[in-house]
Structure 1
Amino acid sequence: MKAITLDSTKNSNLLLTEVQEKGVSEGEVRVSIKAAALNHRDEWCRQGLYPNIKDGVILGSDGAGIVTELGEGVDKEWLQKEVIVNPAMNWGENQKVQSASFEILGMPGNGTLAESVIVPVDRLHTKPDHLSWEEAGALPLAGLTAFRALTYKGSIQPGENLLVTGFGGGVAQFAVQFGLALDAKVSTSSSSKKKLEKAHALGVTHVFDYQYSNWTSKALTNVDGFDLIIDGAVGDTLGQLIQVAKPGGKIVFYGATLGNPSKLEARKIFWNQLQIIGTTMGSDLDFKNMVSLVCKKKIHPIIDRVFKFEEAEQAFDRMRDGKQMGKIVLVP
């Protein structure tokens, strides 16, 4: 079968190649992939910035397709079902935190950027009927991360002021859409006028261009502070987020693309009773509830562009350069 693998001998560190299909073991299924999507972790793997990197691994965490083969002990009703794959492997029983054996599909184990993928049957969820294959393939990892950040960690409530930073990326676009679906008053930020216009069209109340130093003053004037802030950058922008958080508010971050902050306004954090909370991916319960919300509210993931597997280098470069507005999808 065709698959996109990591290959450090290539200039792109990617190789579209034929790989031998493995057999399906007890409790597993084979899913014929109709669409898969990129996440930042795929690009970080390409750059060698992720743990346990090894050549030959099939990349990709997001995927949707049709179940074509069942392992021993799997209910026959799964055969030929249209499904999405939960890429969070071995979360464990503790809703608070993942287990020591937790890993994400696509590194160190083979992922979804292939004509088929083998996963445990408990990773499957029925594909929402209102989603296209491309939309379904774009949902899992970023949707799960955004949902947990908003609900379990952020405890968002109807009518609360929500700020989602960096609109345009996968997690941020889902956080905005889920926030709107949960009746929050949603604001977002970006350096792209086009992305901010798209956010407005979705129903976002206020948008801010974080390139301007006065965006925090504008936010405080227009919104009077945020009950919940969802962020994936951190770095020295954390100080700005602390400024615009309401007393008693929460800042939940799911990534740190800008690295660690050079300083921390500790006094403002404790005096304003702020909570700074880390999160990543989500539990099986989070995934189930995320899919339920997507179905109930008929939420459609925003698709940036769809590439063929043969165009994988272009797709990865687009992710690397931050040009996307929504999810980048690949199809076999």
Structure 2
Amino acid sequence: MKALIIADNNQLKFIDKEIPKPKENEVLVKINAVALNHRDQFIREGKYPGIRHGTILGSDACGTVIETGAQVDKVWKDKEVLINPNVDWGENPKVQSPKYHILGTPTDGLFCEYVTIDAEKIAEKPAHLSSEAGAALPLGGMTAYRALFHHGKCQKRENVLISGVGGGVAQFALQFAMAKGANVYVTSSDETKRTKSIELGAKDAFNYKDSDWVKKAKEVSGGFDLVIDSAAGDGINDLIKLMKPAGRIVFYGATQGKPHNLDVHRMFWNQITLQGSTMANDDEFKAMITYVKKNRIEPIIDSIRPFDEIIDAFEKMKDGKQFGKLVARF
């Protein structure tokens, strides 16, 4: 089978491997489509912890079960499934274990033609989704779901701000919050992404590089009950200024690093919560898929290409011009 690995010097390389055999508690899945996440490009750039050269990359995939292990219910045979990329979340649903990681580094991932996976880690693809849309869902969807609902406690009619809407998690947060009935606003420095977000249903979109964007956002929205952020950095203080009393800021990344200062005076006086979040536990993965199915949410896809051309998708992600998931199909 063909697979894409991270080779020496962090180069992307296609290799051929034998098709694996499922253990008694596993299924063999023929992969139909895969999708990139920013972590795949970060691994390529050597900016991700625990990189192990020779590892098959990829955390997102949709495929068909073609063989079941001896202890697996045969009902899974021929079903099209999504794969939960969690490894060793642990027993505490509130926080991941020290052993926790995601498929694709250091454990072999899903950018390959066939994969064996524990039967507990698969879920049937929602019928309204294509294979390509299904592949786009798992990691970004589960990360957004936990941030928005577990930590963010998103409610109908609340004002919600999603920062950096060009990213996959942010776009799922936008879609999930709209499905909940929230008033959703976004930020992006890219005019095209702001326009597309409004077309999707966002109330308004702000350019965070404009000097007066905080003032404008406050005037337009009246303030926010919830912010979902992935940047952190000094921009976190702009978000604090935008919060309603008892507002919640949930951040699932820190691409802008640590803030030099934090407006703790405004935070304590207005009783604002600043909450970290990462990925999601196994139950939340299943709950996210149920939510997508119930609300018939369609992942936003930027482009689809043959798996043989997946390295081109890495180049597009590096440029940061995509809006939606970058998908490759077999």
TM exceeding 0.5 = yes
The counterpart of 1:220, out of the listed 218, 221, 232, is: 218
Alpha-carbon contact 1:36-1:331 (below 8 Å) kept: yes
How far apart are 1:48 and its partner, in Å? 1.5
Cα RMSD, aligned residues only: 1.1
Q: CA deviation at 1:163?
A: 0.2
Report SS of the residue matched to 1:111: coil
Alpha carbons 1:4, 1:309 under 8 Å: kept: no
Q: Secondary structure at the match of 1:63?
A: strand
Matches for 1:32-181 after TM superposition, within 5 Å: 32-181=30-179
Question: Does residue 4 of structure 1 match 2:4?
Answer: yes
Task: Determine the C-alpha separation between the residues in 1 that align with 2:291 and 2:266.
Answer: 35
Separation (CA, whole Å) in 1 of partners of 2:114 and 2:45: 24
Deviations 1:288-321 (A, max 9, x none): 1111111111100000111222222211111122
Match of 2:258 in 1: 260
How many correspondences in the alignment? Answer: 330
Q: Separation in 1 of the partners of 2:170 and 2:225?
A: 17
- CA offset at residue 110 of structure 1? 0.9
Equivalent position of 1:25 in the other structure? 23
SS at match of 2:8: coil
Q: Which runs of 5+ in 1 are unaligned?
A: none
Kindly provide the CA deviation profile for residues 51-89 of structure 1, in whole angstroms up to 9, marking residues without a partner as x: 221111100000001001212201111111110111112
- Greater displacement, 258-267 / 178-187: 258-267
Alignment of 1:224-263 (within 5 A): 224-263=222-261
Q: Secondary structure of the equivalent of 1:33?
A: strand
1:330 aligned residue: 328
CA distance in structure 2 between the partners assigned to 1:148 and 1:65 by the alignment: 24
Alpha-carbon distance in structure 2 between the residues aligned to 1:245 and 1:160: 12
Q: Deviations along 1:119-148, whole A, 9 cap, x unmatched?
A: 110010000000011100000000000011
What residue identity is the alignment partner of 1:246?
Answer: K
- Asked whether the 8 Å contact 1:307–1:330 carries over to 2, the reply is yes
CA distance in 2, matches of 1:17, 1:80: 27
Letter of the 2:3 partner, please give it.
A
**Is the 2:20–2:114 contact (alpha carbons within 8 Å) kept by the matching residues of 1?**
no
2: distance between equivalents of 1:225 and 1:164? Answer: 13
Question: SS at 1:290's partner residue?
Answer: helix
C-alpha separation between the residues in 1 aligned to 2:68 and 2:54? 25
Q: What runs of 5+ residues in structure 2 fail to find an aligned partner? A: none
Contact 2:43/2:51 (CA < 8 Å) preserved in 1?
yes
| Cα deviation, residue 9, structure 1 | 4.4
CA deviations on 1:147-175 (whole Å, 9 max, x unpaired) are 11010000011110000001121000000
**2:302 & 2:94 partners in 1: Cα distance?**
33
Residue identity matched to 2:176 = F
**How far is 1:90 from its partner?**
2.1
Q: Could you say what secondary structure the match of 2:105 adopts?
A: coil
Q: 1:125 & 1:233 partners in 2: Cα distance?
A: 31
Distance 2:188 2:126 in 1: 30
Deviations 1:205-263 (A, max 9, x none): 11111120111000110111100000011111111111111111010000111111111
**For the Cα contact (< 8 Å) 1:33–1:117, is it kept in 2?**
yes
* Cα distance in structure 2, aligned partners of 1:39 and 1:243: 31
Would you say the 8 A contact 2:20–2:115 is kept in 1?
Answer: no
1:78-120 CA-to-partner distances (Å, cap 9, x unmatched) read 1111101111122223221112222211111111111011111
Report if the CA contact (8 A) 1:228-1:249 is conserved.
yes
135-144 vs 35-44, greater mean Cα deviation: 35-44
Judge conservation of contact 1:6–1:15 (CA < 8 Å) in 2: yes
Structure 2: how far apart are the matches of 1:102 and 1:9? Answer: 25
Corresponding position of 1:278: 276
CA distance in 1, matches of 2:243, 2:60: 33
- Whether the 8 Å CA contact 1:16–1:309 is kept in 2: the answer is no
Secondary structure in 2 matching 1:263: coil
User: Is contact 2:223-2:244 (8 Å) kept?
Assistant: yes
